[in-house]
Amino acid sequence: MKKYRLFAPGPTPVAEDTSLAMAQPMIHHRTKAFEKILEEVRGGLKWLFQTKNEVLILAASGTGAMEGAVVNTLSKGDKVLVVDGGKFGERWWKICKAYGVEADIIKVVWGEAVSVSEIESHLKKGGYKAVFVQASESSTGVYHPIEPIAALTKNTETLCVVDAISALGAVDLPMDKWGMDILITGSQKALALPPGLAMVALSDKAWAMTEKSSLPKFYFDFKREKKNIETNQTAFTPAITLILGLAQTLQKLREEGLENVFARHARLAEATRQAMKALGLKLYAKSPVNSLTAVCVPEGVDGQKITKLLEQKHKMTIAGGQDAAKGKIFRIAHLGYFDDLDMVTVIAAVELTLAELGYSFPLGSGVGAALKVLQS
Amino acid sequence: MKKYRLFAPGPTPVAEDTSLAMAQPMIHHRTKAFEKILEEVRGGLKWLFQTKNEVLILAASGTGAMEGAVVNTLSKGDKVLVVDGGKFGERWWKICKAYGVEADIIKVVWGEAVSVSEIESHLKKGGYKAVFVQASESSTGVYHPIEPIAALTKNTETLCVVDAISALGAVDLPMDKWGMDILITGSQKALALPPGLAMVALSDKAWAMTEKSSLPKFYFDFKREKKNIETNQTAFTPAITLILGLAQTLQKLREEGLENVFARHARLAEATRQAMKALGLKLYAKSPVNSLTAVCVPEGVDGQKITKLLEQKHKMTIAGGQDAAKGKIFRIAHLGYFDDLDMVTVIAAVELTLAELGYSFPLGSGVGAALKVLQS
C-alpha cells in the first residue's frame, strides 16, 4: 500500500473538506444562495489580492486571464515590454504576438531574476503601454522583484501586469500598495483548489485602459464581467463547484491570517532549501520564490530518472525541468495544502531516490536540516 | 425539512457518485494515470458526438467553445449566416461582431424553429463561410431542424456550426452522418456535470478552414489543442476534477446506450408536455426539444411569481423566461441526472404553485397525465 502524494507546483493537493464542499448537491447560479456565496468569495478575493477593486472570476485556466489582460487593455500595434525568464514569461509575448501587440522582450537567463535597472532603461525610451512579468516563474522557481518594477510604472501611463498564478497567496503581493495594475492568479496553486478558475483584478488605471482597447474579445471581456458583478453574477455560467471550494478555502485562509499564510510558505520553502543544501545540492533559482524550490540535479545523476523513480517507487509526483531546464532540475512545491511534515515526506523520498541513483550523502541529512528549520 | 431540487436546463443535478468521483485526491495532469483517463474520455466523447474526429476539451463555459468555433475558422470581413431565435442565437452574432465577422441574421420569432427554406434561399446567394445555429435554443425550448440544415451545407464550402450545448446527449445528433462541421457541448447539461468544461469537435472540412483563418486566438486555439492530443494532454492546465467526473458520466451513458439515453429524454419530455396540456397550459415551443419544456404562463397569473414561489415554498429551481419571454414562460429541464419520478415531483410542485396563484384546474391532473406517459 502506497499513498499517492502530489508535490508539483500546481495542481496541488486539495484539502479533503474542500473536496467534499465541492461535492455538495449542485445549486443553480441564478439563485440568492449562490449570489450570496459569490459575494462572500469576491470579498475574500479582495482581501487576498489586497485591493479595493473588484476581482473577476473566470471559468478558465490561468492562461485565460493572461490573455484577458492583453486583449482588454491593448490595441493592435501597441508596444509592450515583456520579461521572459522562463516558460511563463514566454507565454506573455506569445499571447501578444497572437494579437498583433509588439513585444520588446527582456530575455532573462533561466534561474535568474530580471534586473530592475534593465526594465528602467527600457521604460526610459518611452512608448510602452505595459510591462508584463511573472511574480513567480514556476518553470525556474524564481521570484521577480515586483515591488520595484511596479514602482517604476506607478505614476506613469504604463501598466504593470503581473502573472501571480503560482505566487498569490504564497508570497506578499499587496496590489494597491505596490501599484500593480493587473494581478492574476489561478485556482490550482496557493488556493489549493482543482484547476479551472482564473482570477484577475485591475487597478483604476487598467480599467481606464479598457475603454481605449480595441483588440477583439468576447469570453474574456472584462468590462462585461464587471457589469455582471452589479447583479452578483458572472457573464457566463460560472464553474459553480470550484467557486464553492473557493468560498471554503478563502475562509480557511482568512482564519489563518495573511501573515501566517506567507510565513507558512516561507517556512516550508526554507526547510526544503536547507535540506537540499545539506544534501550538497545547488538551488537553481538565484532569487528563489517561496512557492516552490527548483533544485539542480547533481552531476552524474540522470534528472529525468529522479521524477520517474519517485513516481514508480513512492507514488509521488514532483515536477522535473521544462524546455531549457529539462533533465537539469527538479521542482518541489510548497504552495497549496501542505504542512511542515509534508515537506519531510518529500525530502525523505528525494533522499531515497538520489541514494538509489548512486548519489552519495549521509542518508537523513536533508531531513535533519529541514527539521532544524521547522523546529524554530 | 425540504430538499433542494434543481430543474433548470443547466446546470442540472449531478449524480452523487459522480460528485464523489470528483472529490478524489487531486492527481497531476502530466502523469500516466491522468493521460489514461483523458484517452478514455476522448474515446467516450467521440462516441457521444458520433464522430471519427477528435473532440477537444476546454476549461471554459460553453461560450468559450462558441468563440473558438468563430475565431478558429474565420477571418475578418468573412460573411456568415446566423440563426437567431433566442438568447443563444443572439450570442452567435455578438461573437461574430466582436471579431469583425459580418453576420447576416435570420431572425426567428421566439418559440418558433427556423425555416430551412429560408436558410436555403440565403445560402443560394452564396459567399457564406458558415451557418451558425443552435440545436436546442434553451431560452425558448425550441429544436431547430439540424439534419436538413446540415444537408444544405454538406457538399458546399460553407460550414454548419451547431451549438448543441443543451442538446448533445439529449437528442440524436450524429455529427458525421448528418455532416455537421462544428459541434459544441458543455458539461452542465446532458452530461450532468458541474459547469466548467466545453467540448467541441470539427469535421475535416472545418479543420481545413482553420488553416486559412486569420482571426487572433490563443487560449481557444484549436490547432494547439489538437497538437496536444498527440501527447495525451491539453494545451493548458485542464479542469482535472471535471474531467474525472466526465470519465464517470460517459461510462454510465455508454452502459445505458445512446438509444436509451435519447429515449429517456424523450419520455421525460413527453410526460411533462402531456402534464402541462392536461393543466390547460400551452407549450411555448412550436417544435419542442426534449432537453427542456417551455410552458406559457396562463392569463391572470404572474409568471415571475411561479419561479419565486417554487423557490420559497418548495426549495425548487426551475427557469423563468429571459428577455422577450420574461414573465411569459417557465422552463422545466429533462436533461441531466433525472429519472421518471423526478418529473412527477416537478409537475406536482408546479401544480401546487399554480393553484396557490389562483389558477383553476383539477389538482393532480397534470401528474396523472404524466403517469400515463411514464407507464407505457
pLDDT digits (tens, 9 = 90+) for A254-282: 999 999 999 999 999 999 999 999 999 99
Chain B residues lying within 8 Å of A32, measured CB to CB? 311
Q: What is the mean pLDDT of residues A238-244?
A: 98
Among B237, B310, B315, B317, the strongest candidate for a mutation testing the A interface, having the largest count of A CBs within 10 A, is B237
Percent of chain A with pLDDT over 90: 99
Query: For residue A176, which phi and psi values (nearest 5 degrees)?
Result: -70, -40
Give the residue ranges of DSSP H helices in chain A.
Answer: 16-22, 32-49, 62-73, 87-98, 116-124, 146-153, 175-178, 204-210, 222-229, 240-256, 258-278, 303-314, 340-356, 365-375
| Contact in structure between A36 and A185 (CB atoms under 8 Å) | no
Chain A: closest CA distance from residue B117 (Å):
31
Query: For residue B125, which phi and psi values (nearest 5 degrees)?
Result: -65, -25
Contact B11 A28 (CB under 8 A): yes
Burial B319-339 (b: 16+ CB within 10 A, else e): bbbbeebeebbbbbbbbbbbe
| Contact in structure between A216 and B100 (CB atoms under 8 Å) | yes
Contact B24 A24 (CB under 8 A): no
pLDDT at site B43: 98
CATH number of A5-10+257-375: 3.90.1150.10
Hey, what's the cell of B247? 470519465
pLDDT at site A315: 96
Q: What is the ipTM of this complex?
A: 0.97
pLDDT at site B177: 98
Q: What is the mean pLDDT of residues A292-297?
A: 98
Rounded CA-CA distance A252/B89 in Å is 42
Instruction: Quickly name the fold that domain B16-256 has.
Output: Aspartate Aminotransferase; domain 2 (3.40.640)
Helix (H, G, I), strand (E, B) or coil at A330: strand
Contact B6 A25 (CB under 8 A): yes
pLDDT at site B329: 98
Nearest-CB residue to A26 (from B14, B23, B27): B14
Nearest C-alpha in B relative to A24: B19
Nearest C-alpha in A relative to B59: A60
A262 exposed, middle or buried (CB, 10 Å; 0-12, 13-18, 19+)?
middle
pLDDT at site B376: 85
Contact B241 A10 (CB under 8 A): no
Chain B residues lying within 8 Å of A62, measured CB to CB? 236-237
Contact A237 B311 (CB under 8 A): no
CB contact set of B91 (below 8 Å; sequence gap of 6+) = B63, B66, B163
Chain B residues lying within 8 Å of A218, measured CB to CB? 63, 67, 94-95, 98-99
Contact A219 B67 (CB under 8 A): yes
CB contact set of B311 (below 8 Å; sequence gap of 6+) = A31, A32, B317
Peptide bond into B298 cis (omega under 30): no
Among A218, A312, A317, A342, the strongest candidate for a mutation testing the B interface, having the largest count of B CBs within 10 A, is A218
Task: Give the CATH superfamily of B5-10+258-375.
Answer: Aspartate Aminotransferase, domain 1 (3.90.1150.10)
Q: What is the mean pLDDT of residues A310-314?
A: 97
pLDDT in tens, A164-209: 999 999 999 999 999 999 999 999 999 999 999 999 999 999 999 9
Nearest C-alpha in B relative to A245: B23
Mean pLDDT, chain A, as a whole number?
Answer: 97
Chain B residues lying within 8 Å of A10, measured CB to CB? 237
Nearest-CB residue to A4 (from B27, B99, B218): B27
Chain A residues lying within 8 Å of B63, measured CB to CB? 218-219, 236-237
Rounded CA-CA distance A295/B332 in Å is 56
Nearest-CB residue to B216 (from A26, A62, A98): A98
CA-closest candidate to residue B152, choices B170, B183, B113, B125: B125
pLDDT at site A164: 98
pLDDT at site B103: 98
CA-closest candidate to residue A275, choices A180, A197, A371: A371
Helix (H, G, I), strand (E, B) or coil at B174: coil
| Contact in structure between A132 and A158 (CB atoms under 8 Å) | no
Q: What is the CA radius of gyration of chain A?
A: 21
Nearest C-alpha in A relative to B17: A23
Chain B: closest CA distance from residue A375 (Å):
29
- DSSP letters spanning B290-328: TTEEEEEPPTTS-HHHHHHHHHHHH-EE-EE--GGGTTT
| Domain regions of chain B by residue span | 5-10+258-375, 16-256
* Widest Cα–Cα separation across chain A: 62
Chain A residues lying within 8 Å of B240, measured CB to CB? 11, 188, 194-196
Among A139, A219, A243, the strongest candidate for a mutation testing the B interface, having the largest count of B CBs within 10 A, is A219
Question: Which amino acid, B88?
Answer: F
Contact B28 A98 (CB under 8 A): no
Chain A residues lying within 8 Å of B99, measured CB to CB? 216, 218
pLDDT in tens, A244-256: 999 999 999 999 9
Q: What is the mean pLDDT of residues A125-147?
A: 97
Chain B residues lying within 8 Å of A98, measured CB to CB? 216-218, 221
Nearest-CB residue to B195 (from A94, A99, A240): A240
Query: Residue B127, Cβ neighbours under 10 Å: how many?
Result: 13
Rounded CA-CA distance B135/A171 in Å is 48
Whether pTM exceeds 0.90? yes
| Contact in structure between B85 and B108 (CB atoms under 8 Å) | yes
The number of C-beta contacts closer than 8 angstroms across A and B is: 176
Residue spans of chain B under pLDDT 50: none
pLDDT at site A376: 85
Query: For residue B341, which phi and psi values (nearest 5 degrees)?
Result: -70, -20
Chain A residues lying within 8 Å of B6, measured CB to CB? 25-28
| Contact in structure between B65 and B95 (CB atoms under 8 Å) | no
